[in-house]
Structure 1
């Protein structure tokens, strides 16, 4: 791993400095190239593909490459605040940008429907509809995973043990990215998922998740000793106070983690409103064309009651 020697400042944090094995930046480049290849294939073939979806996915890939391919990654090996910023970005900011790009739909549309492409399409569609994927997207798995990525990792000492090695460090970063994607997919994805939650169910999931990192941030800010022993002794040349750095990390978890969640919440409310409006319009159109069978039957029932009340013979029987 590469560790910087100069004290951290904005210039050092954002300076391009790839690790000896830049695994996650390479993943970001591969995703970017694959997505753009699919989008260009559709455009060249005269098919439509949303420019806004493309901008969203490309932005997510670029953010992933930058956050994991500049000085932030080196300082993240010794500063809890930098590592927390990377975690929140990987879990809360990058996934919505990637998912709003609808990469699953693009894969199904851009892959040739013959030869090897047919096999890829079938495998992709099977993966999207598989029982295993359904389990991964279930809130009963995702909410405990979110709890583990904050409270379980840091308060149990597991993070300190894993961060000792490059494999553990990068493995945690991949865990953050994957868990963020799995949590965000059922909320805002337009791809063909195995199960579609109701709008109310999605809002409940968001409201359950929102306080998780906020409360964790409060715990970090109130602690009087380093909670993560791995970050208790940053390099002397950095001139970083571990407790002040931990306080800043808690502030990030409390504040920065809320902004992407709020955006997701607004997206959910907007889609709920559009869906209800569309259903109301379709119902009105059906009523105009075919009437409302239930309402017509009820009106007919009332009409019969009224005729029976006006009929003298019926009145005599009564």
Structure 2
């Protein structure tokens, strides 16, 4: 591993220098650029190695049997000796990442303020770059602590969640957040980092396992489980590269006529070549020398791609990306990232105005493809799957694309009434369609279960749903409280302003609306089985109380005497106070009026499910009576005769 790490850093430094020379940026940032490449390359190597060890531990490495336990009284699924070695590797790589992230923060300060370190604390606590860097360091420290103290798969799952959050924090660094269409630019950076970690991390671990002469059967198992993830990682890298190209290149000719385009082309060629080679070879190779050589070649290509990415991050693309927020003419473009629609907001423009959210588009197409693949697998196996579940799920995916990229997403950034349409769709229109598609049931039936004591995605999802936390949040009162309480938490606190001004806040708001809506729909009309069936009367009461509160909250918005999110809308400068108040009242009216339709539909679906459940119970009782010739009824009649005789005596 040390030799591979040294080779990795050398390739990163060389490709960074070559990339800076190709774009002409090396003239201004030669020493700092190469030094940054070295430190950032080491940071990416360390965080990728931490991700690889953690990912292999939690999803790829085989266990020692489903019924394995430690001493009497211990909880199930303790880590094996081999898994503990992987945990140690993740811990050491996480600690190295923390040190290198601090070094990267220091380099960013030098790049901005020189070598006078008197204001370093201010830079770390009061600037966007400093705050994001510190947040990443804190998240990595949490991951390292969990890797250090955890001894069960449960804690390794939480450690991986903190580690992924730290990688996401890295995606907010750099220049993407200040570029044109920064929403898509930052999303592309996040996807690029996660794809790179998912591709390169397990490869590093596989080389390490092969070097330690790990049993060939274990290598084959890990490799077989990693191959689909490797394909997904390559797809993420290709998709993020496509989005970046659409944002930063003016035409396809820029790929061969500009230095920036040549670097993008080189990254693309390297990615495609190694993806094809890896996909063809992993099916045949196991833990022998050819496999190790191929894996090392893939790691070298990944290092070159990272080096080129660092050079691209310090170079000016053909399409200028940086917009001054001091410019009155470009104020809206700098804040929103795209030119807002000029057409009046009404029902037709909800379907004619579009600005593609590429991450939402990719997410929707991916889950739809996975759902269809699961249905096809069931059909080939001869299992039944009702067609209307597929129709519901695909309709929800298509609707999500429209909500994020159509009129609701386009107007939602600049007008409160447009935002409220998007909010309502994210909470009470898209989630019920996904819930009625029964995705968890499909996954549990289509994905082959693990039998060796390890956990795949199927086992992790079911473990979360069947955990104590899952039992608490899936109770009807708690789900209703989360659903309704989200309104007060966002719109009557500074959270809404934070969500509009920052990419992280906007992403958090969108994900929260989706998850709270999905949880509420799953509790009220969920098709997937739960550990604790909920009384239909409690469901009905929760439905009426929660959505009634939703409607009355719309009245509260209409009656508000202040502009909700006023700092954001005043910063945009697109309307005066009177127009903003009109948009707010119309948004409250939308929330109040639209709530009635979902309430009715929820009630209809819930009643239909209740009726079907009663009919199913009756049929089961009848079949049981046919099998035992009415033994239960006869026993009850005998009990009544006994009571009558006792009463007479």
What TM-score bracket applies, with the shorter chain setting the length?
0.7 to 0.9
The 1:199–1:174 alpha-carbon spacing in structure 2 relative to 1, beyond 3 Å, is: same
Shift of 1:171: 1.6
* 3-state SS in 1 of match to 2:414: coil
Contact 2:368 2:394 in 1 (8 A): yes
Residue in 2 that maps onto 1:298: 640
Larger mean CA deviation between 273-282 and 256-265 belongs to 273-282
The 1:2–1:149 alpha-carbon spacing in structure 2 relative to 1, beyond 3 Å, is: farther
How many residue pairs end up in the alignment?
305
Q: Write out per-residue CA displacement over residues 74-107 of structure 1, whole angstroms, 9 at most, x where no aligned residue.
A: 3211111111111111110111100110100100
Say which of 26, 37, 44 aligns to 2:380.
44
Distance 1:147 1:237 in 2: 30
* 3-state SS in 2 of match to 1:241: helix
Give unmatched runs, 5+ long, in structure 2: 1-336
Say which of 1, 17, 22 aligns to 2:355.
17
Residue in 2 that maps onto 1:248: 586
**Correspondence list, 1:203-242, <5 A:** 203-230=540-567, 232-233=569-570, 235-236=573-574, 241-242=579-580
Q: Write out per-residue CA displacement over residues 121-178 of structure 1, whole angstroms, 9 at most, x where no aligned residue.
A: 3333323312222222134532332233212211123212321112212220111001
Shift of 1:48: 1.2
Does residue 611 of structure 2 align to residue 269 of structure 1? no
Contact 1:5 1:237 in 2 (8 A): no
* 3-state SS in 2 of match to 1:163: helix
Residue in 2 that maps onto 1:95: 431
Distance 2:378 2:398 in 1: 22
Shift of 1:280: 4.2
* 3-state SS in 1 of match to 2:529: coil
Contact 2:364 2:397 in 1 (8 A): yes
Residue in 1 that maps onto 2:327: none
The 1:261–1:41 alpha-carbon spacing in structure 2 relative to 1, beyond 3 Å, is: same
The 1:269–1:231 alpha-carbon spacing in structure 2 relative to 1, beyond 3 Å, is: farther
* 3-state SS in 1 of match to 2:419: helix
Residue in 2 that maps onto 1:315: none
Distance 1:224 1:239 in 2: 11
Residue in 1 that maps onto 2:461: 124
Q: Write out per-residue CA displacement over residues 248-269 of structure 1, whole angstroms, 9 at most, x where no aligned residue.
A: 1111111112212221111112
Does residue 141 of structure 2 align to residue 141 of structure 1? no
RMSD: 2.9
* 3-state SS in 2 of match to 1:193: coil
Shift of 1:192: 3.0
Residue in 1 that maps onto 2:523: 186
Larger mean CA deviation between 209-218 and 238-247 belongs to 238-247
Residue in 2 that maps onto 1:167: 504
Does residue 413 of structure 2 align to residue 77 of structure 1? yes
* 3-state SS in 1 of match to 2:429: helix
Residue in 2 that maps onto 1:63: 399
Contact 1:6 1:237 in 2 (8 A): no
Contact 1:39 1:110 in 2 (8 A): yes
Distance 2:419 2:338 in 1: 15
Residue in 2 that maps onto 1:316: none
Larger mean CA deviation between 84-93 and 277-286 belongs to 277-286
Shift of 1:197: 0.9
The 1:115–1:240 alpha-carbon spacing in structure 2 relative to 1, beyond 3 Å, is: farther
Shift of 1:42: 1.5
Give unmatched runs, 5+ long, in structure 1: 309-318
Larger mean CA deviation between 277-286 and 88-97 belongs to 277-286
Does residue 626 of structure 2 align to residue 289 of structure 1? no
* 3-state SS in 2 of match to 1:213: helix
Contact 2:408 2:421 in 1 (8 A): no
Q: Write out per-residue CA displacement over residues 218-270 of structure 1, whole angstroms, 9 at most, x where no aligned residue.
A: 11223344233146445538999212211211111111122122211111122
Residue in 1 that maps onto 2:445: 109
Determine which structure has greater relative contact order: mean sequence separation of CA pairs < 8 Å that are 6+ residues apart, divided by chain length: 1
The 1:82–1:240 alpha-carbon spacing in structure 2 relative to 1, beyond 3 Å, is: farther
Contact 1:102 1:191 in 2 (8 A): yes
Larger mean CA deviation between 7-16 and 147-156 belongs to 7-16
Contact 2:427 2:518 in 1 (8 A): yes
Shift of 1:5: 4.5
Shift of 1:305: 5.8
* 3-state SS in 1 of match to 2:456: helix
